[in-house]
Amino acid sequence: MIGTAHKRRAGFTLIEALIALALLSIVVVKITMVLNAASKANSKESAAMALEDQARRVLDQIAYAIMSADRDALFPDPQSPAYTTEVDYEFSLGVDENGDVIWSDPEHIGLDGSKVVWKQNPDMPAERKVAWCNVVRPFLQGEIDNSLDDNDNGLTDEQGLSFTLFKDAVTIRLCLERPNKDGTATTEAVETVVTIRN
């Protein structure tokens, strides 16, 4: 009698197996959804962090170049709402034995399509060129090409890289945009104000 009872309880019925499988599937799907969402959030945040990091590094490079530049030779005085997307400058290398300032070779920072390009000796045989980044947004965040100041910053249709000068202060604005695999885009805009010290 006891042996028969054991033989009867061995194994699962089909219904039990199906129910177990269904429950397992639900759990696995849930876990997969959570992992997927976490992975997407992680990717999005990582992309945003990396893009912001890149934007700040490029902004710092531009800022350090502008700080050392000769104010009188930088570019004409645009006042808001005007702006420029490129600057030509020379920076101080020090002074010679007579106390005269020694200026560097001419340099240029500007947009070339979606790239921020630095050039030394622009338009000369000895020209050197480096792209500091290549994901510049066509227009600054919040701005569209409609001859209006959409983002209320005093500028009209400003592009992803812009310089505005007021007295000795230069406001540098940079907006980067990188497309994501899901069709969306990650956008980071950074801005700083530097004082020209020469």
Which residue ranges make up the site for another protein (CB under 8 A)? 2, 6, 9-10, 31, 35, 39, 42, 46, 49-50, 53, 56-57, 60, 64, 67-68, 91-95, 97-99, 101, 197-198
Q: How far apart are the first and last CA of the chain?
A: 104
State in angstroms the smallest separation of the CB of 98 from another protein.
7
| Alpha-carbon span 68 to 86, nearest angstrom | 16
Largest CA distance in the chain: 116
- Residue nearer to another protein on the CB measure, 153 or 186: 186
As a whole number of angstroms, the distance between CA 45 and CA 172 comes to 25
How is 12-60 classified by DSSP, letter by letter? --HHHHHHHHHHHHHHHHHHHHHHHHHHHHHHHHHHHHHHHHHHHHHHH
Q: Nearest 5°: phi and psi at 157?
A: 55, 40
Q: How far is the CB of 77 from another protein (least distance, A)?
A: 18
- How far, in Å, are 50, 115, 116, 176, 187 from residue 137 at the CA level? 16, 9, 11, 5, 8
- 22 vs 31, beta carbon nearer another protein: 31
Residue number, 45 or 112, with CB nearest to another protein:
45
Q: How far is the CB of 120 from another protein (least distance, A)?
A: 16
Q: How far is the CB of 183 from another protein (least distance, A)?
A: 23
* Choice between 68 and 151, CB closer to another protein: 68
Query: What minimum distance in Å lies between the beta carbon of 148 and another protein?
Result: 35
Nearer to another protein, 9 or 181 (CB): 9
